[in-house]
Chains A and B, each alone.
Chain A
Amino acid sequence: MNAPAPVAARVPAYDFATAPCGSLRLRLAAGEVMLRASGALWLAAEGALVVADLHLEKGSSYAARGQMLPPYDTRETLKRLAAEVAALAPRMVILLGDTFHDRRSEDRLAADDAQRLRDLAIGRTLVWVVGNHDADGPRALPGETADELSLAGLTLRHEPRGGLSPGEAAGHLHPAAKVRGARGSVRRRCFVTDGERIVLPAFGAYAGGLNVRDAAFAGLFARPPLAGALGSARVHAVGWRSLAAD
């Protein structure tokens, strides 16, 4: 799993730049996307905000089994999402699957959290791309349900297709980057991309991360991928050589 991806004789540099807001502007497939420090993907031309793996009600899912994690994860996650919506005024919000942690999560939502979700659909399109944790989509909450979605030349789906899949934006894997420096190491959630496809970090407050050097990422990228690690107010572009296994 530590084997580096094959290195081409001369790897063309990734086309990216940091925007003043801390986002990373990236050329992806034929278009341009913004990787937000929040972990959201912003498709400016379409006015579409994409977030993956919210895992709402993960806390209460554990509590039901006797492990009383703090119950604030859903409101924490939804407040961060609301802040992104306020900052960008999207015409469309796309939830890229595993929005709920389990099939009963929707029933456990607190009234004010459910209202926060309903508010997302007011005056804009809300799309629930379904994932493995929430295969049926919402029961009572507004929005459209989809297995996948084509937008701005990208295919948006929950689980990345195996092998190369140009033009895809997905979630599911919860990528995290571990970067080792002279003074220790740091592990952060990250975007990971080869310029053709992208995997989004998990947006949920309690969602853990899987190291991008894990075997689960093998074969997804055409060349050593670039990680967009989430810093406190900006996205840091980190090359494959700087990434460490756990």
Chain B
Amino acid sequence: MADAGANLPDLLPPRFQAWFGGRGWSPRSHQLEMVAEARAGRDALLIAPTGGGKTLAGFLPSLIELSERPPANTPPGLHTLYISPLKALAVDVERNLTAPILEMGLPITAESRTGDTGIARRQRQRVKPPEILLTTPEQLALLCAWEGARLFFENLSCVILDEIHTLHASKRGDLLALDLARLSTLAPNMRRVGLSATVDDPEVIKRWMAGPAGPEAIELVRGPPGAQPIVDMLLSEGRVPWAGHTAQHAMAEVYEAIKHARTALVFVNTRFQAEFAFQELWRLNEDALPIALHHGSLAAEQRRKVEAAMAKGSLRAVVCTSTLDLGIDWGDVDLVIQLASPKGAARMVQRIGRANHRLDEPSRALFVPANRFEMLECQAAREAIAANHLDGDPPRDGALDVLAQHVMGCACSEPFDLLALYDEVRTAGPYRDLAWEDFEQVVDFVSTGGYALKTYDRFRRIVKGPKDDQGGDGLWRVRNAEVAQRHRLNVGAIVSPAMLAVRIAGRRGSVGRKIGEIEEGMLEMLDPGDTFVFAGQVWELVGITNLDVLVRPGGAKDPKMPSWGGSKFALSTFLAQRVRQLMTDQDHWKVLPTDVREWLEAQRDRSLIPGEDEMLLETFPRGHRHFMVCYPFDGRLAHTTLAMLLTRRLERAGAAPLGFVCNDYALAVWALKPLDDLNFDDLFNEDMLGDDLEAWLAESFMMKRAFKGCAIIAGLIERRFPGDKQKTGRQITFSTDLIYDVLRRHEPDHLLLRCARADAATGLIDVARLGQMLTRIRGRIRHAALDHLSPFSVPILLEIGKERSPGQAGEIILHEAEEDLIAEALS
């Protein structure tokens, strides 16, 4: 903590004191502490609630320092770098920062730089940088890969990392940590400042953001606690449904809540839910309230329009996804509505923080659970928020594909020494434990692709010069300018799926206005003529050409609504545990609405309620099938992986499993043979994470998807080429699936396959969480052998039929198509 004590106000120069006074403000103690830490040259992590003047606290030291700089003849150069996870936030902070600079008449230039910044401005910024540059991790990576990086950053004095809790636990965070390490090499006196409103464990963040001096060197500064948010749960007059995720039953009441609020943000978890809720609200919108829609698939211009209208205060509600989780300061929002389950307590605190940016007034939020399990989850989240217990992302080891990109970037910037770079990389939090062998392997990959078959030595992308008496420096450098240029076009650790532009079809095949973008995979279930909801309207699919989806207005027809996913968050481990506690503790049930309580009581009487550390497993016959339903509450991803592995084992045990279905709470497997007499401790043994997992993973499409992501980040596959031309007529490109197959057969231990396996295990299939779960339930499976289905099993059984079935789906589809043809031929 700062030691300035009672002298804190003295930290502010008169001009700053006058400015605070002129606005009727007095500086907050955490703002002054940040100034004190800066004066002492220390790194700082500031945790302060939304509305606490956090951003100003981050910039104040830089503004003071810059205002006190004596005038110089040389251009001042870059002094402070601000990194935001969102482009829009960087632009917004630029606006907010301009006000005090102008009002105090400070001779300071502050500019944003994002992917949307014009080329002329970006080029000028490289030659003549502003003193304060507001940008994103991707732009920083690009700047670090330029030849002039050393000069550009040599006077850098401070880097500010905003919303730091969203940055650290991802590949983006890996890349940013590496670039920070680079910055500390180029500018050894640079201070690091982290800002966040929702941090559960500051130590995790400190370890990530620390520089060469380690996490101990970072001072933790805490703002005052904000007012406790008021979180209500919508107890619908219609009863809470058994299953489903749309909360359709409560939409009229949601509309009423919007009517009684000044401005409401309605958060949902997927784009599909956003479209659906938007439609429903407008169906009910007799007062024609201005209600808008905001999600990641909409065209950028459309999103900007909504944001501008929101900032002006001309909207009453916005239905949105995680795109509005962060950032933009909207003072008028006084109610946050969460439709369907919140999935995590920290995410909810972030979302609730969007309402009311005044520190002393509580934010108001309304949870609208869409089904009975979600009712439990919402209640658990309310209690966690009230107790200020948040779920944070665990620390992660830096990914090697990201490291590969960084190594290439370093070579593009200037020649590097292998040992010096290894030491530098290990000052980055996620790479602190990086083994020399892994580093060497990454450098070899960057240079030649890293194949055992050394045929690409003559094509090296980076080459090591000889070290000799004739001036050879023994450094690694990029082979030529063209290779460097191609790398710069592919910088960044965000890999988005192929996006298609949705456009209105004109007459005779011409292409009209763009209404947004959607992921390629979302269209798979649609045929021309089918209707779907997008951007708040019903459209009819006309056809798909190259990268355009052509549509025309679908009129008033009922849309054939594809249940496309958007982003799906898993229930956090932390919240899942609280849900289990709530479910187990019967005295606690009285806080729940009557119909949910009755449902729990019926479950207790007809099956059983497991203990907190137990897992309930039910078996029962139904139709001509035998069901096994278990309730680990560990999220859909971990459940799906578990179900895949269980069906393999059941197959071997001769139980003839036919299919399975999973949601965030439970999984159900059905089979031809009875499942009651199996040894469940053996069935759920952790050894399934060995060979069974390997065997399944190798064939799984998730591995292929993970591989594609790694291949793009590591630079094996390029996002785009300089001067890339669209081939007319024929678009034959290689597919990463083909490369994956070949590589797996010929070099199964290749670096990128290791990366893909690690990604799949942590992300797409959540093996880590499954492992924890199997350990947790070892010897604690409570089996209920029932004559018929249980109250708990109804929600999951209702989901059957919405899922794909496992196995050789591709072959089955081909086979069915052939049967169609044969039937046609015989007709």
Q: Say which size band chain B's interface belongs to.
A: 35 or more
One digit per residue, 1 when the CB lies within 8 angstroms of any chain B CB and 0 when it does not, for chain A 201-232 equals: 00001111110001110000000000001011
Residues of B within 8 A of A231 (CB): 810-811, 814
> Which segment, of B236-244, B447-455, B569-577, faces chain A?
B447-455
Q: Is the CB of A242 within 8 A of B455?
A: no
Q: Is the CB of A229 within 8 A of B735?
A: no
With A72-B746, A206-B734: A239-B459 Cβ-Cβ less than 8 Å: no
**Nearest CB of chain B from residue A214's CB, rounded to whole Å:** 7
Q: Say which size band chain A's interface belongs to.
A: 35 or more
Residues of A within 8 A of B56 (CB): none
Which among A58, A71, A188, A209 is the interface contact of B456 at CB below 8 angstroms? A71
One digit per residue, 1 when the CB lies within 8 angstroms of any chain B CB and 0 when it does not, for chain A 170-191 equals: 0001100001111111101000
Residues of A within 8 A of B383 (CB): none
With the chains together, A97 CA to B243 CA distance in Å? Answer: 57
With the chains together, A215 CA to B546 CA distance in Å? Answer: 11
Residues of B within 8 A of A215 (CB): 729
Q: Is the CB of B742 within 8 A of A73?
A: yes
Q: Is the CB of B732 within 8 A of A174?
A: yes
Residues of B within 8 A of A68 (CB): 445, 448-451, 456, 459, 461, 716
> Which segment, of B103-111, B166-174, B190-198, B815-823, faces chain A?
B815-823
Residues of A within 8 A of B812 (CB): 181, 183
Residues of B within 8 A of A69 (CB): 449, 716, 734, 739
With the chains together, A29 CA to B48 CA distance in Å? Answer: 78
Residues of B within 8 A of A75 (CB): 746
Which among B449, B543, B545, B804 is the interface contact of A70 at CB below 8 angstroms? B449
Q: Is the CB of B543 within 8 A of A245?
A: yes
Residue A110 lies at the interface, judged by CB distance under 8 Å to chain B: yes
Which among A174, A208, A232, A246 is the interface contact of B811 at CB below 8 angstroms? A232
Residues of B within 8 A of A14 (CB): 825
Residues of A within 8 A of B734 (CB): 58, 69, 206-208
Residue A86 lies at the interface, judged by CB distance under 8 Å to chain B: no
Residues of A within 8 A of B449 (CB): 63, 68-71
Residues of chain A in range 31-79 having any CB-CB distance to chain B below 8 Å: 58, 60, 63-64, 66-73, 75-76
Instruction: Across the interface, name the chain A residue whose C-beta is closest to B509.
Output: A1
With A66-B482, A183-B804: A210-B730 Cβ-Cβ less than 8 Å: yes
Q: Is the CB of A206 within 8 A of B738?
A: yes
Residue B733 lies at the interface, judged by CB distance under 8 Å to chain A: yes
Residues of B within 8 A of A67 (CB): 716-718
Q: Which of A183, A205, A229, A238 has the most C-beta atoms of chain B within 10 angstroms of its own C-beta?
A: A183
**Nearest CB of chain A from residue B217's CB, rounded to whole Å:** 39
Instruction: Across the interface, name the chain A residue whose C-beta is closest to B733.
Output: A208
Q: Is the CB of A76 within 8 A of B543?
A: no
With A1-B545, A245-B544: A70-B809 Cβ-Cβ less than 8 Å: no
Instruction: Across the interface, name the chain B residue whose C-beta is closest to A186.
Output: B810
Which among A1, A70, A184 is the interface contact of B524 at CB below 8 angstroms? A184
Residue B824 lies at the interface, judged by CB distance under 8 Å to chain A: yes
Q: Is the CB of B461 within 8 A of A72?
A: no
**Nearest CB of chain A from residue B129's CB, rounded to whole Å:** 30
Q: Is the CB of B455 within 8 A of A237?
A: no
Residue B805 lies at the interface, judged by CB distance under 8 Å to chain A: yes
Residue A13 lies at the interface, judged by CB distance under 8 Å to chain B: yes
One digit per residue, 1 when the CB lies within 8 angstroms of any chain A CB and 0 when it does not, for chain B 364-385 equals: 0000000000000000000000
Which among B524, B527, B735, B815 is the interface contact of A208 at CB below 8 angstroms? B735
Residue B528 lies at the interface, judged by CB distance under 8 Å to chain A: yes
With the chains together, A103 CA to B318 CA distance in Å? Answer: 58
**Nearest CB of chain B from residue A56's CB, rounded to whole Å:** 13
Residue B743 lies at the interface, judged by CB distance under 8 Å to chain A: yes
Residues of B within 8 A of A110 (CB): 453, 455
Residue A157 lies at the interface, judged by CB distance under 8 Å to chain B: no
Which among B544, B743, B818 is the interface contact of A72 at CB below 8 angstroms? B743
Q: Is the CB of A238 within 8 A of B821?
A: yes
Q: Which of A58, A70, A184, A229 has the most C-beta atoms of chain B within 10 angstroms of its own C-beta?
A: A70
With the chains together, A73 CA to B456 CA distance in Å? Answer: 13
With A69-B739, A210-B731: A242-B809 Cβ-Cβ less than 8 Å: no
Q: Is the CB of A70 within 8 A of B448?
A: no
Q: Is the CB of B739 within 8 A of A70?
A: yes
**Nearest CB of chain B from residue A24's CB, rounded to whole Å:** 10
Q: Is the CB of A2 within 8 A of B543?
A: yes
**Nearest CB of chain A from residue B73's CB, rounded to whole Å:** 43
Q: Is the CB of A76 within 8 A of B486?
A: no
Residues of A within 8 A of B604 (CB): none
With A236-B817, A242-B821: A71-B451 Cβ-Cβ less than 8 Å: yes
Q: Is the CB of B747 within 8 A of A72?
A: yes
With the chains together, A216 CA to B728 CA distance in Å? Answer: 10
With A69-B734, A209-B732, A216-B729: A76-B745 Cβ-Cβ less than 8 Å: yes
With the chains together, A131 CA to B202 CA distance in Å? Answer: 63
One digit per residue, 1 when the CB lies within 8 angstroms of any chain B CB and 0 when it does not, for chain A 1-42 equals: 110000000000110000000000000000000000000000
Instruction: Across the interface, name the chain A residue whose C-beta is closest to B817.
Output: A242
**Nearest CB of chain A from residue B499's CB, rounded to whole Å:** 14
With the chains together, A206 CA to B453 CA distance in Å? Answer: 17
Q: Is the CB of A76 within 8 A of B821?
A: no
Residues of chain B in range 787-823 having any CB-CB distance to chain A below 8 Å: 804-805, 808-818, 820-821
Instruction: Across the interface, name the chain B residue whose C-beta is closest to A211.
Output: B731
Q: Is the CB of B730 within 8 A of A216?
A: yes
Residues of A within 8 A of B464 (CB): none
**Nearest CB of chain B from residue A85's CB, rounded to whole Å:** 20
Residue B483 lies at the interface, judged by CB distance under 8 Å to chain A: yes
With the chains together, A60 CA to B524 CA distance in Å? Answer: 34
Residues of B within 8 A of A58 (CB): 734
With A70-B449, A210-B730, A237-B821: A188-B814 Cβ-Cβ less than 8 Å: yes
Residue B426 lies at the interface, judged by CB distance under 8 Å to chain A: no
Q: Is the CB of B818 within 8 A of A63?
A: no
Residue B245 lies at the interface, judged by CB distance under 8 Å to chain A: no
Q: Is the CB of B459 within 8 A of A70?
A: no
Q: Is the CB of B738 within 8 A of A63?
A: no
Residue B673 lies at the interface, judged by CB distance under 8 Å to chain A: no
**Nearest CB of chain A from residue B510's CB, rounded to whole Å:** 14
With A70-B747, A71-B456, A174-B732: A239-B809 Cβ-Cβ less than 8 Å: no
26 contacts across the A-B interface (CB closer than 8 A): A14-B825, A58-B734, A63-B449, A63-B456, A64-B459, A66-B459, A68-B450, A69-B716, A69-B734, A70-B742, A70-B743, A70-B750, A71-B451, A76-B742, A179-B814, A179-B817, A181-B812, A186-B814, A205-B738, A205-B741, A206-B739, A207-B738, A214-B730, A231-B810, A239-B821, A245-B543
Seen from chain A, the residues whose Cβ lies within 8 Å of a Cβ on chain B are 1-2, 13-14, 58, 60, 63-64, 66-73, 75-76, 108, 110, 173-174, 179-186, 188, 205-210, 214-216, 229, 231-232, 236-239, 241-242, 244-246
Q: A60-B456, A70-B739, A71-B449 are in contact. List 17 more A-B contacts (CB 8 A).
A: A70-B750, A72-B742, A108-B455, A110-B455, A180-B813, A181-B809, A183-B812, A186-B814, A206-B738, A206-B739, A210-B731, A231-B814, A238-B821, A239-B820, A242-B817, A244-B527, A245-B543
Seen from chain B, the residues whose Cβ lies within 8 Å of a Cβ on chain A are 445, 448-451, 453, 455-456, 459, 461, 479, 482-483, 486, 524-525, 527-528, 543-545, 716-718, 729-735, 738-739, 741-743, 745-747, 750, 804-805, 808-818, 820-821, 824-825
What 10 A-B pairs are tightest by C-beta distance, nearest first?
A68-B449, A181-B813, A72-B746, A186-B810, A242-B817, A239-B821, A236-B814, A13-B825, A208-B732, A63-B459
